[in-house]
Structure 1
């Protein structure tokens, strides 16, 4: 871990960042660099550095002293008036000792922090039970209120469920075993969209708030509907005479049956648009549904059908293989 690196640089935030921005940056970095998730050899040291920076910048008084005295802020009593000098103050930027999280649960820094000392905090305490543990212990190691880590899981929905939305009970596998959640699915949720369950993530420590659980939606393959964003495509089987003469034909949608006007002379592959009949959108226009024409012929012809088709074949000059326009 780089010595005396600026805490704002560690978290990637500006010196004017709000408490919420500091917390958000910490959560994102903690998930990325937690040694149980990141097997990079330097992940543990990076995680310690991130945790140390967050402990200082998340506490208003500690942050105020750090802004004034830099890494010597620990040597300044709480509530002490700001002294002369910029960041680092009279102690210089290299003063003070660094406190880090000890993976073994032993003392955090050899010799402690000043005379008070800080015990080690394991990863589960720091991330508030990210892996299904009992959560942080209040005040463990003197770190104070620490928010729980956000979690993310994938949930697979059928197209019809995603279309209609509603209240669902979902069971997810967690490190401590299967767990059920009551989830409100917004109508028209799309593949890759995240659903936030506030306070259902890792438990906080020291009385800190729990993190959030984010469910990333994956749409299951459907035998009829093909979903791209909010648009839906469905095959529309039609008879040869409907395709030739035109007709009003029914078409399946996730919201029920609709009707579409098939223009005369429609060939297979023609796409008919039903505006607004795709996936709903609570914040804007709904997607569209596209009915793709597929001409179907009877597998077994009756004598009458065969006679009609033979007469058509004898009388018609239509040739779809003729590049001159289909007429022989």
Structure 2
């Protein structure tokens, strides 16, 4: 009875019957700079496979984040007996960047400002993956202050975009001119401000 069900040409596994099966899915990691993940678009990538170096044109969705998978249908392993190929999943890895630090969809960038800009307030430019932006530095800003630019991080096609955080860093001239040095000396004589006392007071208030 079993032989009648599974044997011969009518059976799925008997002689003369061609067996087909879909190919296995594959995974590979690709490294992308944050500028590419921000803008998205068509990119040509090179993958090392058992058959050698393989080039693919891949559409990178705008706003992909580290660890996200991009599915390439029919680019996986070959099928058996004419079966369809499997899929290839590209796992995105963000390359380290000299200026940007990425956390999910949020991006942090250092914002160099002059001492007078930090003291008096100023509207200064900041470089972002999507282009240069203007950020308002409030008067009295110290180094380390984070200024949030809502929605200026990595875009999100299915929801809310990340934020850009500009972190204030006060930079002084390495070699001040004689006039600049004279101004610093006048400020030192005129000001009673003690940054160490102010910091101690702030830390005491948080305890």
| Structure-2-length-normalised TM-score | 0.89
**Deviation for aligned residue 1:163:** 0.8
Equivalence for 1:151: 26
Q: In the aligned structure 2, how far is the partner of 1:140 from the partner of 1:286?
A: 58
Instruction: Indicate which of 39, 59, 77 corresponds to 2:5.
Output: 77
**Deviation for aligned residue 1:267:** 0.4
What are the within-5 Å matches in structure 2 for residues 113-152 of structure 1? 144-152=19-27
**Deviation for aligned residue 1:140:** 9.6
The structure with the largest helix share of the pair is 1
Instruction: Indicate which of 185, 197, 211 corresponds to 2:86.
Output: 211
The structure with the largest strand share of the pair is 2
Equivalence for 2:151: 276
What are the within-5 Å matches in structure 2 for residues 11-30 of structure 1? none
Equivalence for 1:302: 177
Q: Deviations over 1:8-32 (max 9, x none)?
A: xxxxxxxxxxxxxxxxxxxxxxxxx
**Deviation for aligned residue 1:205:** 1.1
What are the within-5 Å matches in structure 2 for residues 1-328 of structure 1? 74-75=2-3, 77=5, 144-322=19-197, 323-324=200-201
Q: Deviations over 1:155-179 (max 9, x none)?
A: 1111111111100111110011001
Q: Deviations over 1:272-313 (max 9, x none)?
A: 000010001111111000000000000001011001100111
Rate the CA distance shift 1:166–1:141 in 2: closer, same or farther, 3 A: farther
Cα RMSD (Å) of the superposition? 2.2
Rate the CA distance shift 1:315–1:212 in 2: closer, same or farther, 3 A: same
Q: Which has the higher contact order (CA 8 A, sep 6+)?
A: 2
